[in-house]
Structure 1
């Protein structure tokens, strides 16, 4: 919720504060810079205080950042609050891989990781519900709601999530180079996946705002994304049956379809609804399979492996909105979405081909 509330309220922020596309794009990038900072800092905090500690810090950052945005009347204060709020996901996400690998039996770990990641779908449904407050009152009420939920999440986290001691966190074996070799393909996937995802979330509300659809359409779309994304609960089973590489490639193709539909939707409500539902499946399954994939490749360092791919993806997330903000005034939003769709589709096809090449290379000779 904290990561994507900015994109949801972007049209109202533009109107209220009168900010340019460039400034709005830079703030969007800055929120993911905060997310990147949370990812990077979560590892050292886990090493010193245990894997649950950064998840608690994330809840606090989400609450304080959201309250700061509520009080913002200038670009600087808005950016500071949005960055702090955006860091919450970075603090929280990756440490759960270590918590799961230490507290859940191996046969249930893939399912647990998929369930935890798919929790984002429920968060998006809640965010869509909060967005009705913007329709009825002010966009600031949406941020206030996110702050309240962040406080509740931090309390629940402290009471229910198992604590791991600092000395339970595994030490590096093989160093960064070893991780890089093992995670080359998932890291490449992360670059494309996170870039196209952030483009969709940042500008979906803008597409809706440019149509004759009622304002209530924006929160409805977020609810649809979250609800359809619950399909990702089956990610562990899909990865076990078809392989994580194929599932990841499928997700890129699905997101490409969603971006293309959004870019060509115009005033078509049916096209926008289908785009949101398709996107929810690709988005949630795409993030869940990354958690499962990295845990499969580096089971003894699942948290570090997942963090590595998330950091690469976060860098991509930082760059994408800033680039979009400079390109949109020249080419328009529709063509940008179609270009993003083409990149996602091509990457999905390339991932399938690469997976086939790697399987043939490792297959025993007849």
Structure 2
């Protein structure tokens, strides 16, 4: 239970803060530091790209080095946050976002491996879903931080401290864990039999599509909502808070996956994600209620969907769940990188 709680906080800091905080804090940074105003599309794409690289690397290192990878996740994310706290130019902003995104890519596979090592099988699915929902906790904390701390620099410094503290907690609490896994190296769908490859094709394709769709809100949501006057810059933290509160629904996704299977559960989550995206991004005058409702719906869909991917990977390869998670999350991040870049002309 202690490791699960620490895992929630590590995901909260590396995902909800270091990774997704870039889009939330960009409006305030653009006002305070004009040099970063036009860097958001490139920063979003760079961040998602670094996530892919880090998750791929983690796939080779887990489960044998899950504990070290979890520690590295917090350190890398913390360094990225420090860079964002100091960045005043577009190039520095993009480079720091790249580093911060890598921390999240390391965190998920490492935690999947550690939890599978210490959590009883009958509780493993629920524990994985709860830890994955830590993103929502981090998003809520980032939203509250953005509201309470008016300057983005101190906010990024506090996020750096959170990343370093939570990875330290995971490393300490997992010191007695013995990771036993028959898988050697990451799962490679292309080397499976034709039937096995086909079983991977669907989740990988769906993950890419969901990534493209979700990039619109993650990267451009706060900027769009503030730009059209639905929320004032000082209120933009409310958007992330609503998103995070809605995303807590992802902690309960293990039940629907067990009852209905991962495919149906994923489709239902994607529908919620699409509806929420439209409510956040569609112009509705200066009405601020709909973006908040849409953000909650989007958060519920996204966090549940990413939880489904973790459980789906463990079903596809029970012995290599950590590496399977890495590949599915890489597919999700590839879609997000493509979406951030392609949608820049629309929303930036």
Please confirm whether the aligned pair reaches a TM-score higher than 0.5, indicating the same fold.
Answer: yes
Q: Is the 8 A contact 2:113 2:179 kept in 1?
A: no
Q: Any conservation in 2 of the 1:110–1:292 contact (CA below 8 Å)? A: yes
Give the number of equivalent residue pairs. 326
Indicate how the Cα distance of structure 1 residues 45 and 163 shifts in structure 2: closer, same or farther if over 3 A, else same.
farther
Residue in 1 that maps onto 2:18: 2
- 1:176 CA drift (Å): 3.8
Preserved contact between residue 239 and residue 292 of structure 2 (Cα < 8 Å): yes
- Calculate the TM-score normalised by the size of structure 2: 0.87
User: How many angstroms apart in 2 are the aligned matches of 1:247 and 1:124?
Assistant: 23
Which of 78, 83, 86 is the matching residue for 1:68?
83
Shift of 1:319: 1.5
How many Å apart are 1:174 and its aligned residue? 8.3
| Distance in structure 1 (CA, Å) of the matches to 2:246 and 2:36 | 33
Tell me the equivalent position of 1:347. none
Which residue matches 1:342?
Answer: none
What's the offset of the Cα at 1:14?
A: 2.7
Partner residue of 1:323? 342
Give 1:266 shift: 3.2
Unpaired runs of 5+ residues, structure 1, are: 334-366
* 2:62–2:185 Cα contact (<8 Å) kept: no
1:312 aligns with 2:325: no
Residues 74 and 166 in structure 2, CA contact (< 8 A), matched pair in contact too: yes
CA gap 1:30/1:10 in 2 versus in 1, 3 angstroms? same
Partner SS state of residue 343, structure 2 = helix
Unaligned runs of 5+ in 2: 1-16
Q: Is residue 273 of structure 1 aligned with residue 292 of structure 2? A: yes
Which residue pairs with 1:146 in the alignment?
Answer: 159
Q: More deviation in 182-191 or 265-274? A: 265-274
CA distance in structure 1 between the partners assigned to 2:186 and 2:32 by the alignment: 51
Cα deviation code 1:163-211 (max 9, x no counterpart): 5557746226985422644321111111011222221111111122120
Whose Rg is larger? 1
1:225 and 1:29 map into 2 onto residues whose CA distance is 21
In structure 1, what is the equivalent of residue 254 of structure 2? 236
Residue 127 of structure 2, aligned match among 101, 107, 112: 112
- Equivalent position of 2:67 in the other structure: 52
State whether structure 2 residue 271 is matched by structure 1 residue 258: no
1:207 to 224, 238, 241: 224
Q: TM-score, normalised by structure 1?
A: 0.83
CA distance in 1, matches of 2:242, 2:106: 26
**Mapped partners of 1:174, 1:80: distance in 2:** 30
Q: 2:114 aligns with which of 99, 117, 122?
A: 99
The corresponding residue for 1:296 is 315
C-alpha distance in 1 between matches for 2:131 and 2:187: 28
- Which residue in 2 is equivalent to 1:246? 264
Q: Write the distance in 1 (CA, Å) between the matches of 2:198 and 2:315.
A: 14
CA contact (8 A) 1:14 1:24 kept: no
Secondary structure of the structure 1 residue equivalent to 2:111: helix
1:217 to 212, 218, 235: 235
Match of 1:77 among 77, 83, 92: 92
SS of corresponding position for 2:233: coil
Root mean square deviation of aligned Cα = 2.2
Between stretches 73-82 and 302-311, larger displacement belongs to 73-82
Tell me which residue corresponds to 1:35: 51
In structure 2, distance between residues paired with 1:313 and 1:101: 22
